Structure 1
Amino acid sequence: MVAHNPLFRGTWTVKRFQATVMNDIWPETLFFTLIATMVATVSKLTPHQLTIPSGLLTVLGTVLGLVISFRTSSAYERYQDGRKMWTNIHVASRNLALMFWIHVPSERNIEGLSKDQATLRGVIEKKTMINLIQAFSVSVKHFLRSEPGVYYQDLYPLVCFLPRYANPHGQHTAEDKLPLWSVSDDIAEAHARKDKNPRSAADTIGHHPQRTASLPTHSRGDTLIEDNKSEASWFRSWGKSSTPRPSRRNTFDPEKVLPEVDCHHPLRPARNPPEATMYDYIPLFRFFKWVVRVLLRRAKPQHEIEARLRRKKLNEVESNVPMEVCMVLSSYTASLMQQGIIQPALATGMTNNITTLQDTLSNLERIRNTPLPFAYQAHLRMSLWLYLLFLPFQIYNPFGWFTIPGTAFASFLLLGFLEIGQEIENPFNYDLNDLDLDHFCLHLQRELHEITAYTHPDPSTFVYSMWNQPFAPSDRRSAADLIHAEQYTLPHNKDGPEPGLASIRRTLINSWREVDQTTRHP
């Protein structure tokens, strides 16, 4: 999502130029400018006057402006709704993680295990469920971008341990495979056939190791030791070498903090925006591409066309991974209730947050799958084209040669607003003006790890310390000094209340009065 000026901040690139709508509307603007040039030239240099009355100009222009304004406002409303829904995901995920980590006890009584082993199992269980909360947001991101399945560098390491077969024991067949893995495997095989000759291995598999084993076969600790050694040697030699330090933009790889697991399918990149082609910079070429496609389609045999349609239908199969993750989280909550580990009130709070995640997913799906009706878009665009086509004929008499820049400016203004509305109508794709879903997921990932870093110590270990002054500003004595007295007494107590609760209340009133007077602007 582009929040700052992409043209005059940082290094200017063609990619930043795509953040504007100029590359989309310049062919139409050029066309109407040429029409205005023709009208002005013919009317000025020949006896023919290419003019028409301008009676309808004001009326039609006002109506058309209101319609375009409504089009842009409705698109921006969808954009804002998408952002609000992601805020709901953020809040519900954070609350659910707090409940799992703090309110679910780690200490368990497991027969045959020591206290430390049972505690370790409880911590592993809670951390795994919090990782699934992170997997929910990542799966929603791919779901909204029409990227089905689970075989992505940022998603597969978080869900690869989930059950794959309905029968966990005995013989496993394709008929026993659960929906999550059944659909994902079909989609992965379709992509594998499509990507037989990738441009490079990194385009498909990223940095994760790709082997055919079903379980990890190496120790992650050995890899970390080697990475730490190489990093330490690089820092030692950095000051002595003339090689510039690599920039963070070139070394940014958030997926390297995820578990490294083996996968029988190549993992697709976490972020895979479509490459810009000449059709994006010169949209007029799309018409010729369509003509060539129609001619080639007629020349193809019927069996090739049917095979292509079958592959397309397979690629359109949707795997609702977020719903599968929500079912696992709900199952975990039910398991805690059945074992008597949590109270019903806490289970209700967990269920409400999981329900919020499901409701938000439905609202995001509604925004993505409910575009503005095509008839409305087509009629509005044709009306605008007709208005701009006849605009030079109506304004030539009062403007003369200024008809050319006037028509160019009007075309740029009206077509730009129309194109902006169309671009932000679906704010979940890879356009520079779309919502930055990757940033939202990484932000939530950082907060979930911050939650699990909290050790929830006993309050008595840090409340009664020399650093804590609970009654400031009226009483700046520390908590350690206060608890040594038998009863609390106001400092410099003169004609004050009796020691005890009455003195505490007087102190709190004095603190309020001093804060209220001090923090107000003069």
Structure 2
Amino acid sequence: MSNPLFAGGGFLGFSKRFRATVVNDIWAEVLFFTAIATMVACVSHFTPTSLAISNQMLTVLGTVLGLVISFRTSTAYERFMEGRKLWTSIAIASRNLAQVIWIHAPFERVDKKTNQQVSHLKIIIEKKTMINLIQGFAVAVKHLLRGEGGVYYADLYPLISCLPRFASAKHTSEDDMMPLWRASDMDHRMHHTIRSQSFGSETMNNVLLRAKSDPHLLSEKHGNSSEFSDSEVGWLNTLRGHSGKKFDPEAALPIIPSEQPLRPARNPPRSSVYDYFPFLRILRPLWRPVTRHFSQNRDPSTHRRRSITGKKIRPSLADSNVPLEITLYLSTYFSMLLRAGQLQPASATTMVNAISSMQDTVTNLERIKNTPLPFAYQAHLRVSLWLYLFFLPFQIYDAFKFLTIPATAFASFLLLGFLEIGQEIENPFNYDLNDLDLDHFCLSVQRELHEITAHTAPDLEEFVFSEWNQPFAPADRRSAKEMMADVAHDYHGLETGVHSIRKTLLKSWREVDETTRQP
């Protein structure tokens, strides 16, 4: 599937493609080295002093730097592809786990306390809740990798809001709060620049109200607390289809009131005129007093996405335990099925392997996220490249004269661009247009899980032996229902049945082999 950010043509499509380049990150350095080349050319041409020097080191150093930059870019691309493969592992493990829960765990169960048959409705609600947790796992990993801690997001909270808040229903205090919710509350308050480490009275009252009463009471007290604030511009305000209809995938999720305002499912940095004309960033300090008034109510998480020269400011790492907590609840459900004798050994093995794969995958994704290239390597490579580009115009002036200026600009753009591309894609989990489309991956998992739960596990008699099935085509184009009804046919004979069926299948093979081969 193509990236929706690059859909469409015209100016909008061009602007998105332009922002996907690294021009904003390297324009200042390219401008600096071009100015050096201009100074060398002008001084050498208009004054008796020639700044040209020998170019003996040009070829040797250029070859070495080219190899090192190529290695840097290749290493970053390996991390990019490994991240993509790990997300494929999440999708596979999610499908396998959901299939075991939905199909292999039986719908018949006897309550050991009452010896009564458990209703199908109760079991289906139980299974669907666990599959929602599987979907929530993928969403939680997405927010973890983007440095967004906690659970208060429009695409995550509705899936896991049913999880218990406190260790005991009888003791609902701050000390009894489960790690998932306590950490999420602290992350939420830090998001809004509240640094206090204690629970505020209003926040704690909201949590207690959520824990002790019907969710409708919380909704009546706070209104629709799931609505985004004006500063929290989410996915539905940034992505629109060709028809102008808002793309709002969160509309397919449950509507659950929350004790905290929900942050948008997707909160990329806002684009501005500086993204299209990066040289205007030099004038930004002059405009800051004028624009400060209009940015007072802006979400703090959207500030400082780029430096004064346009370089991206990487988001801080999030210490989130949400994916781990979700796998603990899935493991608890697996343990319950085992104790109840509800799983066959093969299904139990598939289920435990899927949960283990999910845990391994998120650990490996965190490894990619939290292990940047060593600073000494990055600093040494960048300083070496700067020195090479700085002395480049001095070495090529004798051969190029005033063409030294565009030649230096092109060399700077080329080498600095490859270096910056390597730095950008080594962590492919952010909101950059060149990063992996984590939202698309999560929505794909969501669609697949709902497709699994739409499967009704029908009796084979309902579809195998129907008039819509021609199992022996093309040799025998009768339906399965017709073949079963024709008891006089050789298929039903004690001595001719299997032999006649094999002849038909052999004829089908010959016809398919001849039909599908080009002459």
CA distance in 1, matches of 2:42, 2:216: 77
User: Who is 1:348 aligned against?
Assistant: 349
- 1:258 matched to 2:259? The reply is no
Q: Classify the secondary structure of the residue corresponding to 2:216.
A: coil
User: Any conservation in 1 of the 2:37–2:393 contact (CA below 8 Å)?
Assistant: yes
Note the alpha carbon deviations across 1:301-333, whole angstroms, 9 max, x for none.
Answer: xxxxxxxxxxxxxx9772311011001001101
- 1:332 matched to 2:333? The reply is yes
- After superposition, residues 356-375 of structure 1 pair within 5 angstroms as 356-375=357-376
Q: Aligned partner of 1:174: which letter? A: E
- After superposition, residues 393-432 of structure 1 pair within 5 angstroms as 393-432=394-433
User: Who is 1:306 aligned against?
Assistant: none
CA distance in 2, matches of 1:143, 1:406: 44
CA distance in 1, matches of 2:129, 2:109: 17
User: Who is 1:29 aligned against?
Assistant: 30
Q: Classify the secondary structure of the residue corresponding to 2:11.
A: coil
Q: Aligned partner of 1:263: which letter? A: S
- 1:505 matched to 2:506? The reply is no
Q: Report the Cα offset of residue 518 of structure 1.
A: 1.6
- CA 1:519–1:340 in structure 2 vs 1: closer, same or farther (change >3 Å)? same
Q: Aligned partner of 2:178: which letter? A: L
70-79 or 479-488, which moves further after superposition?
479-488
- CA 1:255–1:113 in structure 2 vs 1: closer, same or farther (change >3 Å)? farther
User: Any conservation in 2 of the 1:166–1:176 contact (CA below 8 Å)?
Assistant: yes
- CA 1:502–1:337 in structure 2 vs 1: closer, same or farther (change >3 Å)? same
257-266 or 83-92, which moves further after superposition?
257-266
- CA 1:3–1:217 in structure 2 vs 1: closer, same or farther (change >3 Å)? closer
CA distance in 2, matches of 1:91, 1:193: 38
450-459 or 172-181, which moves further after superposition?
172-181
- 1:268 matched to 2:240? The reply is no
CA distance in 1, matches of 2:218, 2:192: 28
Alignment TM-score, normalising by the size of structure 1: 0.80
CA distance in 2, matches of 1:329, 1:395: 65
User: Who is 1:11 aligned against?
Assistant: 11
Q: Report the Cα offset of residue 14 of structure 1.
A: 4.4
- 1:456 matched to 2:451? The reply is no
Q: Report the Cα offset of residue 76 of structure 1.
A: 0.6
Q: Classify the secondary structure of the residue corresponding to 2:490.
A: coil
User: Who is 1:149 aligned against?
Assistant: 150
CA distance in 2, matches of 1:374, 1:45: 42
- CA 1:251–1:423 in structure 2 vs 1: closer, same or farther (change >3 Å)? same
- 1:517 matched to 2:514? The reply is yes
User: Any conservation in 2 of the 1:144–1:365 contact (CA below 8 Å)?
Assistant: yes
Note the alpha carbon deviations across 1:29-80, whole angstroms, 9 max, x for none.
Answer: 1111121122122222222221111111111101100000000110011000
Q: Aligned partner of 1:175: which letter? A: D
User: Who is 1:190 aligned against?
Assistant: 190
Q: Classify the secondary structure of the residue corresponding to 1:251.
A: coil
Note the alpha carbon deviations across 1:280-305, whole angstroms, 9 max, x for none.
Answer: 7659969999xx9xxxxxxxxxxxxx
- CA 1:212–1:250 in structure 2 vs 1: closer, same or farther (change >3 Å)? farther
Q: Classify the secondary structure of the residue corresponding to 1:445.
A: helix
User: Any conservation in 1 of the 2:22–2:417 contact (CA below 8 Å)?
Assistant: yes
- After superposition, residues 301-312 of structure 1 pair within 5 angstroms as none
Alignment TM-score, normalising by the size of structure 2: 0.80
Q: Classify the secondary structure of the residue corresponding to 2:187.
A: helix
Note the alpha carbon deviations across 1:190-211, whole angstroms, 9 max, x for none.
Answer: 334549xxxxxxxxxxxxxx99
CA distance in 2, matches of 1:127, 1:400: 73
Note the alpha carbon deviations across 1:109-165, whole angstroms, 9 max, x for none.
Answer: 3476986x7110000000000000000000000111111111111111111111111
Q: Classify the secondary structure of the residue corresponding to 1:417.
A: helix
User: Any conservation in 2 of the 1:139–1:155 contact (CA below 8 Å)?
Assistant: yes
Q: Report the Cα offset of residue 386 of structure 1.
A: 0.7
- CA 1:473–1:364 in structure 2 vs 1: closer, same or farther (change >3 Å)? same
User: Who is 1:160 aligned against?
Assistant: 161
User: Any conservation in 2 of the 1:102–1:456 contact (CA below 8 Å)?
Assistant: yes
User: Who is 2:41 aligned against?
Assistant: 40
User: Any conservation in 2 of the 1:101–1:451 contact (CA below 8 Å)?
Assistant: yes
CA distance in 2, matches of 1:421, 1:219: 48
User: Who is 1:227 aligned against?
Assistant: none
Q: Classify the secondary structure of the residue corresponding to 1:148.
A: coil
Q: Aligned partner of 1:46: which letter? A: T
User: Who is 1:137 aligned against?
Assistant: 138
CA distance in 2, matches of 1:284, 1:489: 85
User: Who is 2:305 aligned against?
Assistant: none
Note the alpha carbon deviations across 1:216-253, whole angstroms, 9 max, x for none.
Answer: 21899xxxxxxxxxxxxxxxxxxxxxxxx996555111
CA distance in 1, matches of 2:352, 2:62: 53
Q: Classify the secondary structure of the residue corresponding to 1:359.
A: helix
User: Any conservation in 1 of the 2:218–2:257 contact (CA below 8 Å)?
Assistant: no
User: Any conservation in 2 of the 1:2–1:19 contact (CA below 8 Å)?
Assistant: no
Gaps of 5+ in 2: 196-205, 220-239, 289-315
Quick one: percent identity of the two aligned structures? 58
User: Any conservation in 2 of the 1:7–1:17 contact (CA below 8 Å)?
Assistant: no
Q: Report the Cα offset of residue 2 of structure 1.
A: 7.8
User: Any conservation in 2 of the 1:153–1:267 contact (CA below 8 Å)?
Assistant: yes
Q: Aligned partner of 1:336: which letter? A: L
- After superposition, residues 188-267 of structure 1 pair within 5 angstroms as 188-194=188-194, 213-214=209-210, 215-217=214-216, 250-267=245-262
Q: Report the Cα offset of residue 189 of structure 1.
A: 2.8
- 1:101 matched to 2:102? The reply is yes
CA distance in 2, matches of 1:331, 1:287: 58
Q: Aligned partner of 2:174: which letter? A: A
Gaps of 5+ in 1: 196-209, 221-244, 293-314, 492-496
Q: Classify the secondary structure of the residue corresponding to 2:468.
A: coil
User: Who is 1:469 aligned against?
Assistant: 470
Q: Classify the secondary structure of the residue corresponding to 1:154.
A: coil
- CA 1:218–1:451 in structure 2 vs 1: closer, same or farther (change >3 Å)? farther
CA distance in 1, matches of 2:352, 2:279: 49
User: Who is 1:379 aligned against?
Assistant: 380
CA distance in 2, matches of 1:488, 1:365: 64
CA distance in 2, matches of 1:8, 1:156: 32
CA distance in 2, matches of 1:187, 1:352: 31
Q: Classify the secondary structure of the residue corresponding to 2:461.
A: helix
CA distance in 2, matches of 1:19, 1:521: 44
